[in-house]
Chains A and B, each alone.
Chain A
Amino acid sequence: MKVMVPVKRVVDYNVKVRVKSDGTGVETANVKMSMNPFDEIGIEEALRLKEAGSATEVIAVSCGPAACQETLRTALALGADRAILVQTDVELQPLAVAKLLKALVDKEQPKMAIVGKQAIDDDCNQTGQMLSALLGWSQATFASKVKVDGDKLTVTREVDGGLETINITLPAVITTDLRLNEPRYVTLPNIMKAKKKPLETLTPEALGVDVTPRLITLKVAEPPTRKAGIKVPDVKALVDKLKNEAKVIS
């Protein structure tokens, strides 16, 4: 079974993002970029499936500008077998990405796609579900545990209020939650090896996909800031403030 894992290049999770002064977006020039953490978990899960003998090949794919090659090289260094970049400078929204991924699935015929549950830049939480719907595949979102048994999967999902376990049949899209696994580190020898692994570049046009954005971002603004309050000397003063100033307890 081939497994496809999409990876997105995003502002590193440690970077404190700054809104551009003209309100058109956030500052991404000269900012550290990394693989979306949920996608890293996706790569790790696919590698574990391969190591356990359930998967035969792990294909990392990315959609976006030429710089996404770096993200794909990271995926290859982690252990993916080969990579495909759908290169475009158009702003890609989740529906467009899902259509590109569907075109890649049609071409490569994987039985499973492991998709990060959301990207930490736009926080959309859509692409995996959209891909699953476009393909007519089964879907298991927010996975914290995946067990493969032939063409049946048992997936434990993180839902509001606890955990839920479902059975699905392949082919399927799984989206990763934080506790699915702890991704391995990239080692230097593997970075060297990754340079020799195949990385194919395609375009949306070659795949016959229209990626025109559907949503227009009118403005990006700083969220309202919360002012620091006061330190109170003791519990008595705190209770007094809560009762008489904030009036949140009676």
Chain B
Amino acid sequence: MSTLVIADHDNQALKGATRNTIAAASRLGSDVVVLVAGSGCQAVAQSAAAVAGVSKVLLADSPHYKDGLPESLADFVVGLAGGGQYGHILASATAFGKSVAPRIAALLDVAQVSEIISVESPDTFVRPIYAGNAFATVQSKDRIKVITVRATGFDAAAANGGTGIVESVAAGPDSGKSALVGRELTKSDRPELTAAKVIVSGGRGMGSAEAFKVLEPLADKLGAAMGASRAAVDAGYVPNDWQVGQTGKIVAPELYFAVGISGAIQHLAGMKDSRVIVAINKDEEAPIFSVADYGIVGDLFQVVPELVKELG
């Protein structure tokens, strides 16, 4: 039996979270096979084959897999897995993985285990419930285990060192059920939030969209991604996809700056696994200080520029 990992990619590069999923797959004790389904994505297949722990890459290249639409892709994976050679099918808990994996599980008539953060044994996994306020250990007795993997639970497998082979497979039919119109992706020179080593986030305390600019030099200095609390997003200061929290992105960087963020449970659920948390807030009673390793009580508009200067 092998483990099938469905790669999340944009036809040019593998998304970072896929390597965390490969790391989770490697804990299951079987060969790891990665499916790269896309269009003109040969380079992605090559880079997936180079990831540590990957034994084989299946490359399905067809125009109808270009945009990661779930209907055709799920049918295709069910076709691949129907013979029973895969004991586990894994996808990253990204927008893509979350859209496609439950379809596969339903069509195979098996349960899905969502957003695992730990592999206890090949059939037992730990996953957060209630926005991370409890951890459930669940066991699946289904013949095929369909799983989504939360990237922050597993250190990414090394991008190099693998010696997988790439094998082309024939694509399945196009369901024609959906078509991409367009994407409006936030363009940024900064690292992606979920992959960043350092994150600088602002909250309602920033007070305006304009004020977020005060965080930019700090993010520049540290090579950080920028994030925000739900309150700041709802106030329209920054775009939706900056949101860190229960209903936004779950992050766990080495260093997390919470600036002008009070620390609602909603937000803490998205960042409390960060290695080191720094809070800057003028309210010394703010709940964020109860999870922060280091806190500074003060006006962020003074503290942040001083910090940039001190970092030299």
User: Which A residues form the contact surface with B (CB < 8 A)?
Assistant: 11, 16-17, 19, 26, 93-95, 98, 120-134, 137-142, 144, 154, 157-169, 178-179, 214-223, 226, 228-232, 234-236, 238-239, 241-242, 246, 248-249
Contacts and interface: CB of A to CB of B under 8 A. Distances in A.
B237 interface: no
Query: By DSSP majority rule, is chain B's interface helix, strand, loop, or mixed?
Result: mixed
Contact of A218 (B137, B194, B275, B295): B137
A231 B95 contact: no
B13 interface: no
A151 to B, nearest CB: 12
A158 B185 CA distance: 10
Contact of A223 (B128, B139, B141): B128
B102 A164 contact: no
Given A154-B181, A166-B178, A228 B291 contact: yes
A221 B142 contact: no
Nearest 6 A-B pairs (CB), nearest first? A129-B102, A229-B293, A130-B106, A214-B111, A133-B103, A162-B185
Contact of A121 (B129, B142, B181, B310): B129
Interface stretch (B33-41, B67-75, B82-90, B157-165): B67-75
A144 B293 CA distance: 36
B290 interface: yes
Central interface residue in B15, B94, B99, B186, by most chain A CB within 10 Å: B99
B137 A165 contact: no
A236 B101 CA distance: 48
B113 interface: yes
Contacts of A159: 95-96, 183
30 contacts: A17-B130, A125-B115, A129-B106, A131-B106, A132-B71, A133-B103, A138-B178, A139-B103, A141-B98, A142-B95, A160-B192, A161-B192, A161-B241, A162-B185, A162-B186, A165-B184, A214-B141, A221-B135, A223-B132, A226-B291, A228-B292, A229-B277, A229-B292, A229-B293, A238-B278, A239-B307, A239-B310, A242-B276, A246-B294, A248-B275
A238 B130 CA distance: 33
B213 interface: no
Contacts of B104: 133
B180 interface: yes
